[in-house]
């Protein structure tokens, strides 16, 4: 169970489309912990944007982890993370709390 309610569903309706998109773009999937998601969420919230935890997962995994682990994204690259869920989408999500 994850704090990111939007991604904890057991059988996502669009999983085939998502997989096709990842394969078509030679994309990468990265697993992140709740702690990594919430740390990314805190950074996004501090920037004045505010997002729900599932959106923060793209920052936690898609950017931070791939830069830290090296190889996929270098530190000097510009990267865009799409945050589809604002803070009000999941108002009960942990704010400023540690997992």
The torsion defined by the Cα of 70, 73, 78 and 79, in degrees rounded to 10, comes to -120
Is 12 a domain residue?
Answer: no
Average pLDDT over every residue of 76-89: 81
Spatial neighbors of 26 by CB under 8 A, at least 6 apart, are none
CA distance 72 to 62: 9
7-65 pLDDT, tens digit each: 887 777 888 998 999 999 998 888 899 999 999 998 888 888 888 898 898 887 778 88
- Whether 45 maps to a domain, the answer reads yes
Q: Note whether residue 44 is domain-resident.
A: yes
Residue at 10 is within a domain: no
User: Would 98 be classed as within a structural domain?
Assistant: no
70 part of a folded domain: yes
Number of domains in the chain: 1
């Amino acid at each position: 169970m994850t704090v990111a309610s939007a991604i904890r569903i057991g059988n996502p309706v669009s999983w085939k489309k998502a997989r096709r998109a990842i394969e078509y773009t030679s994309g990468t999937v990265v697993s992140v912990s709740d702690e990594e998601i919430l740390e990314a969420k805190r950074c996004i919230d501090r920037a004045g944007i505010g997002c729900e935890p599932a959106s923060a997962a793209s920052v936690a995994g898609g950017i931070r982890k791939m830069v830290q682990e090296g190889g996929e994204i270098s530190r000097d690259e510009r990267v865009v993370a799409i945050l589809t869920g604002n803070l009000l989408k999941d108002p009960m999500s942990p704010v400023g709390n540690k997992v």
